[in-house]
Amino acid sequence: MMIAIPPTEWLCFGDLALPDFALLLQDLAAKVHLNRFLKQLRTPKKKKSPLVRHPKHPHVSTAKLLSGG
């Protein structure tokens, strides 16, 4: 937080009692719009089209071709 806000801005919080500081944090948290921090929703997966198999050109494994059989 020291990177985002300079140390001089934190001095006002040093004088607060712990219960007052907790109430201040709760008040600030209530004002946050959480929908701004939501991730992008995933879309449903697209269905693959079925593979077309040609009877004239059957699949032959690479191992079978390399073994000569």
* pLDDT value at residue 19: 93
Mean pLDDT of 34-60: 86
Mean pLDDT of 54-61: 84
58 or 69, greater pLDDT: 58
Q: Is residue 69 very low, low, confident or very high in pLDDT (cuts 50, 70, 90)?
A: low
CA distances from 16 to 12, 19, 33, 35, 41 (A): 7, 8, 26, 30, 41
d(CA 3, CA 5): 6
For the chain, give every domain's residue range: 1-33
- Extract long-range pairs of 30-37: CB within 8 Å, 24+ residues apart: none
1 has a pLDDT exceeding 70:
no
Task: Please indicate, yes or no, whether the overall pTM of this predicted structure exceeds 0.75.
Answer: no
